[in-house]
Structure 1
Amino acid sequence: MIRNAILIFCLLVGRPTTAQVRWDLATCIAFAQKNNIQVNTQRYNQQTAQQNYYLSKSAQLPSLSGSATQYFQKHLNIGSYTLNTALTLYEGGYLQKDIRQKQLSLEAANQNVMATENDITLNIIQYYLTILLDKETAVYQQNVVNTSKAQLEQGEQKLAVGSVARKNVTQLRSQLANDEYSLISAENTIKQDLLSLKQLLQLPTEVQFEIATPDTIISKSEVPSLAAVQEYALNNRPEVKENQLQIQVAQLGLAKAKAGYYPTLSVSGTIGSSYFNDISGLGNGFYKQAGISLSVPIFSKRQNKTNIENAKINIGQAQINLNDTKTTLAANIEKYYLNAINAQSQFTAAEQAFKYNEEVYNIANQELALGVSNMVEYLQQKELYVQALQQFIQAKYNAALTIKVYEFFYNQQ
């Protein structure tokens, strides 16, 4: 899917065209997860954590360095070449703990990338469904305009033969102007929300962007139980896993700090060759040496104790962060659950209200055409119909959005 999104993007920006490629929701999500700045920033942090992990593993290896010196002077030529190596044998387990700590930091960085991708995904879903709401509102508003035009045309025909008062026709013209204004506002809202989604996707200005309209919008669905969603999220969401890993990272930081009280044992070795050549003759030599070093901490000016205390503070802070993340997540899920339940109830009520208002409005149109209804009653009924229509569309997409957001915390799809 990501490859398809990138291909679409390349086609869009690779040649001048006014054609619009319609992006479905999955393509928008895949493209944003690939190109969004916040996500890529976290990916760079993950790459940094990976390099730190590689570095910690390499610390177990012996070091090797070489040097060469050549000195020239009149009647004197001196050369020296050496290879040096050193290896730490024991340091209180510091290196092993550092490797494990860096590995967990890398895993935490991976979870952070996933959490950021989830945030972007939710934003995309909200923008996408909002645009679908805008589009359907514009379609219905266009139908209202078409009806108003037809009513005005009939009124003008009746005015021409004297079967209707000029006042009634003027009211129809005023109503048409109001309906056209509402249609223009609806179309402008589409453009503004499309621009917001385009900016979230971080597409260049010259790219022509449009979204695809799905065949169906699921506004009624069985809402998973609150307990099931909370349990799943608290055990599987990446932001929770990241904070759990950060506690382990902090605990290993404490273990590393305690290693400062232990001695360090290391070995080293050197091999070299040197020679000199002067007027007295030629001299050269090859030498090698090996050594073992034991460093025992006696007094570190409180450095080790401070490191340990700071590590304990980091553990406490990491635990607080985990508790805060879980509390916030559980509270948000409960809020989304209530939103989903309420939105479906509102959609059911709005659907019924629209059904009956539409029926009455159709009757009012017929009565107006037959001349058995006055203009005031007709316009009042039309206003009730438009209000019911707007509430129905709003409730329809609000129900679809709230259930989509709530279920995202259950399956992240």
Structure 2
Amino acid sequence: MLKISFKFLTVTCCMFFVCKSYGQDTTARPIAKIWDLAACLQYAKEHNITLRSLKLDLETARQNQLLAKAAVLPDLYGSASQSVNHYNQATGTNGNNLNYSGSYGVSSAWTLFQGGYLKTNIKQQELLVQSSSLSIMETANSVDLQIAQAYLNILVDKESIIYNKDLVTTSTAQLEQIKRQFAAGSVAKKDVAQFEAQLATDKFNLNAAENAERNDKIALRTILQLPALREFDVVKPDTLSNATSTISLNTLQDYALANRPEVKNAELGTQIADLALSKAKSGYLPTLSLGAGVGTSYARDPSYNAFRQFDNNFYQQAGLTLSIPIFTKRQNKTNVSLAKIQVEQSKLTLENTKSTLALTTESAYNNMQNATSQYAAAAEQVKYNQELYRIANQELKVGVLNAVDFYQQRNLYVQATQSFIQAKYNAALAAKIYEFYYGVPFKL
């Protein structure tokens, strides 16, 4: 009983410490609840499924590269076979006989020349590894753009929520004021109803802004591919730069065409296609290989010593084999034709990539200029409408402004404020996107 109790106590203690350690490991690095833009970008680089899949493609390309390099080496195979035959004698006694036979050997083959195919294949596989790396960079850039857009959408929602909360607070105070005026008999019942309707509209708009924030957070989490979280929020920066980039369009386009991964990848595509054409042409050339082997074989009765045959039946052989393609049923010609088509296709891809990038950067430049102009105009608009709305509030309090005129001015202020919020973040995003094509990482 003492032994059983001691064993039970030992197992229980071990399970306790294992569970405690496991709990510490799982909580050591919990998923954060508050994210800044840098954390979002870094998390996506490590966890985005598309990027992880492309990284596996890169590993596949590296394995193919190693295989291509190993193809120039000789191989080495060992072989062994052993069999037993049982038969009845046709004449003489009726006894059974057994016959043993076997063969053992080692062989090697070495391709000495294959029309340059092996060396060309090595170069092509090296370029394919580089191409896979560039594909990862392309996708990472695309993911960064999506994250920046989704992140700024949430910031727009947050500012809209603050603004709509202020409107609800103001509308509530105004409704209380108009009720007091109605009780004093200075305004009609319809004026009270109008303020009540406006308060309901403001509450609806606040709810819509909060719902937009929730949806945009889901959109960002979808890009990040985060698991379901009860709490998830982003950091709102204290200040947001809306300065227009000083990089000229020509300078940026020259940099982008020389450094962007999509252009480099397209250029590699033309080189890979050229090497594929060289490989196809090598099919017209002969192949020279060296073969060698050693081995032994025997077929003897049970009384024979199997190891003695190494002295009597041991062979060695070596030879060269030359294979000359004479008629391949149009296989080589078709391969060359298809490779030439791929070369032309790769050139078109490169041309389209450069053209698309040039147009994209020009569009980004125009968007930045337009967004900056709209932001400056919106800032002026909201400035003057805010002052007019302040005056309208004062006039409403002293009873010199009716509800219709007040709400007309209020609506102008609301529209101006909404336009200003959108223009501010559009200007910031447009500038960041433009500089992103110059290699400047996203940073608020």
Q: Deviations over 1:334-371 (max 9, x none)?
A: 11111110110010000001011111111111222222
Equivalent position of 2:396 in the other structure: 368
2:106 corresponds to 1:83: yes
Residue in structure 1 matched with residue 155 of structure 2 by the alignment: 132
Matched, 1:113 2:136: yes
Q: CA deviation at 1:171?
A: 2.0
The answer to which of 77-86 and 66-75 deviates more is: 66-75
Q: Is the 8 A contact 1:60 1:88 kept in 2?
A: yes
Match of 1:329 in 2: 357
Following TM superposition, by how much is the alpha carbon of 1:265 offset from its aligned partner in structure 2, in angstroms?
1.2
The alignment partner of 1:179 has SS state of helix
Q: CA deviation at 1:196?
A: 1.3
Q: 2:241 aligns with which of 214, 218, 228?
A: 218
8 Å CA contact 1:65–1:83 kept in 2: the answer is yes
Task: Compute the displacement of 1:276 (Å).
Answer: 4.4
Cα distance in 2 for partners of 1:111, 1:217 equals 32
Give the count of matched residue pairs.
400
1:143 aligns with 2:166: yes
CA distance in 2: counterparts of 1:85 and 1:141, whole angstroms:
81
In 1: Cα distance, 2:171 partner to 2:231 partner? 33
1:53/1:212 Cα in 2 relative to 1: closer, same or farther (>3 Å)?
same
Aligned match for 1:38, one of 19, 27, 50: 50
Q: Post-superposition shift, 1:33?
A: 2.3
Counterpart AA for 2:324? V
TM-fit CA distance, 1:408: 0.9
Q: How does 1:199-348 map to 2 (within 5 A)?
A: 199-206=222-229, 208-278=231-301, 281-282=304-305, 284=309, 285-348=313-376
Q: Which deviates more from structure 2 when the two are superposed, residues 87-96 or residues 20-29?
A: 20-29
TM-superposed CA distance for 1:156, in Å, is: 2.2
Partner residue in 1 for 2:23: none
Cα distance 1:57–1:412, how it changes in 2: closer, same or farther (>3 A)? farther
Amino acid at match of 1:368: L
Aligned counterpart in structure 2 of residue 61 of structure 1, from 73, 76, 79: 73
Match of 1:394 in 2: 422
**Change in 2 beyond 3 A, CA 1:125/1:355:** same
Greater mean deviation of Cα atoms: 176-185 or 351-360: 176-185
TM-score (norm 2): 0.86
Paired with 2:403 and 2:57, the residues of 1 have a C-alpha distance of: 67
Q: In structure 1, what is the equivalent of residue 39 of structure 2?
A: 27
Normalising by structure 1, report the TM-score: 0.92
- Aligned partners of 1:80 and 1:155: how far apart in 2? 109
Higher mean C-alpha displacement, 171-180 vs 314-323? 171-180
Q: Secondary structure at the match of 1:217?
A: coil
List per-residue Cα deviations over 1:157-195 (Å, max 9, x = no partner): 333344444333222212111111111111111111111
Give, in whole Å, the separation in 2 of the partners of 1:36 and 1:64.
Answer: 43
Preserved contact between residue 244 and residue 368 of structure 2 (Cα < 8 Å): no
Gaps of 5+ in 1: 1-6, 13-19
Tell me, yes or no, if the aligned pair for 1:223 and 1:340 is still in contact at 8 Å.
no
SS in 1 for 2:328: coil
Unaligned runs of 5+ in 2: 1-25, 86-96
Cα contact 2:241–2:428 (8 A) shared by 1: yes
Q: Distance in 1 between matches of 2:232 and 2:76?
A: 57
CA distance in 1, matches of 2:114, 2:345: 28
How has the CA–CA distance of structure 1 residues 276 and 366 changed in structure 2, closer, same or farther, with 3 Å as cutoff?
same
Percent sequence identity over aligned pairs: 47
Which structure: larger Rg? Answer: 2
Distance 1:131 1:409 in 2: 23
For 2:300 and 2:208, how far apart are their aligned partners in 1? 95
Matched, 1:103 2:126: yes
In the alignment, what sits opposite 2:60? Answer: 48
Whether contact under 8 Å (2:245, 2:435) holds in the other structure is no
Taking the aligned partners of 1:10 and 1:260, their CA distance within structure 2 comes to 57
- The Cα of 1:11 is off from its aligned counterpart by 1.3
